[in-house]
Chain A
């Protein structure tokens, strides 16, 4: 019974999310474009699927994954677990947090694979590129970027180094990569930074950040707890462009080798 109550609350919230979009599209169709929408029935059924699917997805996450993720984040960052019970810690030792880095990387990777917005963008990219960009290839590359980003982000919280230094350095890398990356991947790479952080990743990652900054000695959740999401949206850009560069480089080498063979 309680579940039905929870679910209808989430369903209502999702409907509220969709409402402005529906109003916008309907009023544009009626007032500006003044034409009937093709395949209207199919669109409506699809829209209902999206809303119900998203609500079920969120309800399931809230029931199962978020509580679990929160418990695990607290347990892993608990000083008693990291330094051994009874130890008094005044200075954080970044080398003691190995499991936290691993957890951050793995949970970042795993949640990115399940992220619905990324599934959507990968689907579109695959369609538009006529299959040359593989859905799983893009998703795994982005997930690797998020994994690295979040892991580095937890390192930053533990060491207490300033956020903007990392972000500025990341921007520098992105700018340099942009100059050398294949032109047709650039827009997609920039986009993949924005899509990684929505329904699944944000709540879990935010919990990890706030949990860590509350338990690591000398950190203030208000100042140090933020910023993990910024890491998670910066590093996928680097990962996607890097992967594209690598692929380009290896094909060029292959072509050169072929040419050499042909010349002989």
Chain B
């Protein structure tokens, strides 16, 4: 009896150790890069060694927990929502869910708030808008809203694509062409921010959820392959904001 408990404990400890080891492997390249540059190129001692080690420990623990929670919570809920919505068979609610998921997770995204402010300040300095505080915050708010709207719309289009089985490359390529055309006419100051806006919209919690939604939908509709049709939602969510931010720049200036 006692021995079976101790083997059970050993198993648990072993399992936890393997998971921590996995997370440590993920972090190893960063440690190596920093060590290489500090010791061989910059040749300066690391400031606050203790702090850095403590921080690295936190990162490893956090990553272990995150990956565990991903498999336990985030993936299953995304997929079960997708299955339930597909079974319900109401196109309206499915599309509404897709839009709401994209909009609500983006509108409060800290990275987006930061980028919108920077954009407003640049536009103010460049004399494109009135540099007063009120017009700046109005501009930043409008930008945030248009990005959040575009992400919602992107997830909606992506879900519609999975349902209808449209090939993804036509949509993405026409998206690229749209971005290229808008780049030519958009104000120069907004271009860099617009391109970056595509990258910052998809947060760490949204990505697994959206991926699970896509794969879950594709696997619950007959004739769709989860690999060919299930992915692609994130691609739309990072493409459409670029076009919208440039469009916003065109309309406002």
Confirm or deny: A59 has a beta carbon within 8 angstroms of a beta carbon on chain B.
yes
- The answer to whether A58 and B62 touch across the interface, beta carbons within 8 angstroms, is yes
Contact with B along A45-72 (1 / 0, CB 8 A): 1111111111111111111110111011
- The answer to whether A106 and B168 touch across the interface, beta carbons within 8 angstroms, is no
Confirm or deny: A249 has a beta carbon within 8 angstroms of a beta carbon on chain B.
no
Which residues of B are found within 8 Å of A55, using beta-carbon distances? 62
Q: Helix, strand, loop or mixed for chain B's interface? A: helix
Contact with A along B182-200 (1 / 0, CB 8 A): 0100001101110110111
Query: With A55-B62, A110-B32, A124-B212 in contact, is A45–B55 under 8 Å at CB?
Result: no
Confirm or deny: B29 has a beta carbon within 8 angstroms of a beta carbon on chain A.
yes
Confirm or deny: B18 has a beta carbon within 8 angstroms of a beta carbon on chain A.
no
- The answer to whether B104 and A61 touch across the interface, beta carbons within 8 angstroms, is no
Which residues of B are found within 8 Å of A72, using beta-carbon distances? 34, 37-38, 42
Confirm or deny: A186 has a beta carbon within 8 angstroms of a beta carbon on chain B.
yes
- The answer to whether A202 and B111 touch across the interface, beta carbons within 8 angstroms, is yes
- Please classify how large the interface on chain B is, using the bins under 10, 10 to 19, 20 to 34, 35 or more: 35 or more
Residue in contact with B192 in the complex, picked from A28, A33, A193, A226, CB distance below 8 Å: A226
- The answer to whether B235 and A230 touch across the interface, beta carbons within 8 angstroms, is no
Query: With A116-B66, A163-B195, A227-B192 in contact, is A57–B59 under 8 Å at CB?
Result: yes
Q: How far is the CA of A167 from the CA of B186 in the complex (A)?
A: 15
Residue in contact with B195 in the complex, picked from A33, A67, A71, A167, CB distance below 8 Å: A167
- With both beta carbons as reference points, the residue of chain B lying nearest to A99 in the complex is identified as B41
- The answer to whether B228 and A184 touch across the interface, beta carbons within 8 angstroms, is yes
Chain A residue total in the interface (Cβ 8 A): 102
Residues 191-222 of A contacting B (Cβ, < 8 Å)? 191, 193-199, 202, 222
Which residues of A are found within 8 Å of B70, using beta-carbon distances? 46, 50, 119-120, 123
- The answer to whether A57 and B111 touch across the interface, beta carbons within 8 angstroms, is no
- The answer to whether B58 and A43 touch across the interface, beta carbons within 8 angstroms, is no
Q: A65-B30, A65-B55 are in contact. List 12 more A-B contacts (CB 8 A).
A: A17-B110, A43-B73, A46-B72, A48-B73, A50-B66, A58-B62, A60-B57, A110-B29, A114-B63, A187-B230, A223-B192, A228-B196
Q: How far is the CA of A46 from the CA of B227 in the complex (A)?
A: 25
- The answer to whether A71 and B47 touch across the interface, beta carbons within 8 angstroms, is yes
Confirm or deny: A260 has a beta carbon within 8 angstroms of a beta carbon on chain B.
no
- The answer to whether A197 and B200 touch across the interface, beta carbons within 8 angstroms, is yes
Q: 4 smallest A-B Cβ distances: which pairs?
A: A46-B73, A64-B55, A49-B69, A53-B65
- With both beta carbons as reference points, the residue of chain B lying nearest to A31 in the complex is identified as B93
- The answer to whether B209 and A21 touch across the interface, beta carbons within 8 angstroms, is yes
How many whole Å from B164's CB to the nearest CB in chain A?
A: 14
Q: How far is the CA of A24 from the CA of B46 in the complex (A)?
A: 45
- With both beta carbons as reference points, the residue of chain A lying nearest to B48 in the complex is identified as A67
Interface residues of B, Cβ cutoff 8 Å to A: 26-27, 29-30, 32-34, 36-38, 41-42, 44, 46-47, 51-77, 80-81, 84-85, 88, 90, 93, 97, 100-101, 104-105, 107-111, 122, 125-126, 168-169, 172-173, 176, 179-180, 183, 188-189, 191-193, 195-196, 198-200, 202-209, 211-212, 215, 219, 225-235, 237-238
Q: How far is the CA of A46 from the CA of B66 in the complex (A)?
A: 9
Query: With A103-B37, A222-B122 in contact, is A187–B232 under 8 Å at CB?
Result: yes
- The answer to whether A60 and B192 touch across the interface, beta carbons within 8 angstroms, is no
Confirm or deny: A158 has a beta carbon within 8 angstroms of a beta carbon on chain B.
no
Which residues of B are found within 8 Å of A45, using beta-carbon distances? 69, 72-73
Confirm or deny: A178 has a beta carbon within 8 angstroms of a beta carbon on chain B.
yes
How many whole Å from A9's CB to the nearest CB in chain B?
A: 12
Query: With A125-B231, A164-B191 in contact, is A49–B66 under 8 Å at CB?
Result: yes
Query: With A21-B105, A21-B205, A38-B80 in contact, is A47–B73 under 8 Å at CB?
Result: yes
Residue in contact with B227 in the complex, picked from A111, A184, A224, CB distance below 8 Å: A184
Q: How far is the CA of A188 from the CA of B231 in the complex (A)?
A: 6
Contact with B along A231-248 (1 / 0, CB 8 A): 011000000000000000
Query: With A52-B65, A116-B204 in contact, is A129–B227 under 8 Å at CB?
Result: yes
- The answer to whether B234 and A113 touch across the interface, beta carbons within 8 angstroms, is no
- With both beta carbons as reference points, the residue of chain A lying nearest to B25 in the complex is identified as A113
| A85-93, A168-176, A250-258 - interface stretch | A168-176
Which residues of B are found within 8 Å of A63, using beta-carbon distances? 51-52, 54-55, 58
